[in-house]
Amino acid sequence: MTDLSCSLAGVTFKNPIVMASGTFGFGKEYGAIYDINKLGGLSGKGLTLHPKAGNDGVRVAETASGMLNSVGLENPGIAAFLREECPRWEMLDLARIVNLGGNTIEEYVEGARLINDDAAWRKREGRTAVDMIELNISCPNVKAGGMAYGIKTDIARQVVREVRAATTLPLVVKLSPNAEDIVGMAVMCQEEQADGVSLINTFSAMKIDIHKRRSVFDNLYAGLSGPAIKPIALRMVHQVCQAVNVPVMGMGGISCAEDIVEFIMAGAAVVQVGTHNFVNLRAGEQLIEDLATWMSREGIQTLDEIRGIL
């Protein structure tokens, strides 16, 4: 009998497939298409303390084997999320992850506190809506803070330290491939008592409208994701897994069961799937089925048999 279950920072995932932040909303729209409780988990759209309108102009563009996005963290703000989305999240049976963004350290910390206090209040009433925080220090599409915090290890250390002190929820830090030293960044997160790291976010990239002779994006650069980045993402996940003891959520360009197996063999505890949700709205459901089929064909009962086997 094939067992797909995994665990990370004390949270159980019924399978290793987690929907990546910014590609799955808060799960409501996809929930109308298939039963999202089949998934291992979901990371909601990046949230900031205050609502954000996001970037003007073109927000997404297709590239060879991937896409560019410049959404700019459009989101309803943490208070609205807790009020309007969490009653539905309470009813879900999968690992529910809040992706926390911010423009200043104070904003990150205040956001983490709000989420933490809300979780404590619900727990007293025997309810849970959020299982984990994914601290996003790596968004390339916001001007202040955002990726700036995810590039230099010393600056990131302060954010991780202060957010860690502000919450008792399991904390995973999402790393940028644009970091000066992504392995050093992961080691720092472990030193600062993060429960895990997730990687990678998008690569800072560009597309030019040659007729207008300007960037396609108002924000000049945009984030590259999808199959085009998978080999680099896999290399980075492997390097980070070699360097830290905390669990790793691996992502970047996953679009089939074999891709998931590669990330697990590189050492990932679970994986996240982003851009592929736009190619196949039922990607999550399909990948779970395909992974189970692959495992039984190979005679593998649990993912521990192949995790980090390289």
Ligand X SMILES: Cc1cc2nc3c(=O)[nH]c(=O)nc-3n(C[C@H](O)[C@H](O)[C@H](O)COP(=O)(O)O)c2cc1C
For tokens 């005679």, the residue is: 299
Show the tokens assigned to 285: 């459901």
**Which residue in 222, 178, 235, 170 sits closest to 197, CA to CA?**
170
**Of the two residues 105 and 300, which places its CB atom closer to ligand X in the complex?**
105
Contact call for residue 71 and ligand X (CB under 6 A): yes
Question: Could you give the string, one character per residue 223-252, with x where binding to ligand X holds by CB under 6 A and - elsewhere?
Answer: --xx--x---------------------xx
Select the residue interacting with ligand X from 111, 170, 253, 284 (CB under 6 A). 253
State the catalytic residue, choosing from 139, 189, 241, 256: 139
Show the tokens assigned to 114: 């709000």
139 is catalytic: yes
Choose the binding region for ligand X from 33-41, 114-122, 164-172, 271-279 (rule: CB under 6 A). Answer: 271-279
**Of the two residues 92 and 100, which places its CB atom closer to ligand X in the complex?**
100
Contact call for residue 48 and ligand X (CB under 6 A): no
Choose the binding region for ligand X from 20-28, 120-128, 146-154, 189-197 (rule: CB under 6 A). Answer: 20-28
Q: How far is the CB of 30 from ligand X (least distance, A)?
A: 14
Instruction: Report whether 52 contacts 75 (CB < 8 A).
Output: yes
Q: How far is the CB of 221 from ligand X (least distance, A)?
A: 14
Specify binding-site residues for FMN: 21, 45-46, 99, 136, 174, 200, 226, 252-253, 274-275
Q: Which residues are annotated as a binding site?
A: 21, 45-46, 69-73, 99, 136, 174, 200-202, 226, 252-253, 274-275
- Which residues are at the interface with ligand X (CB under 6 A)? 20-23, 45-46, 67, 69, 71, 73, 99, 136, 139, 174, 201-202, 225-226, 229, 251-254, 273-276
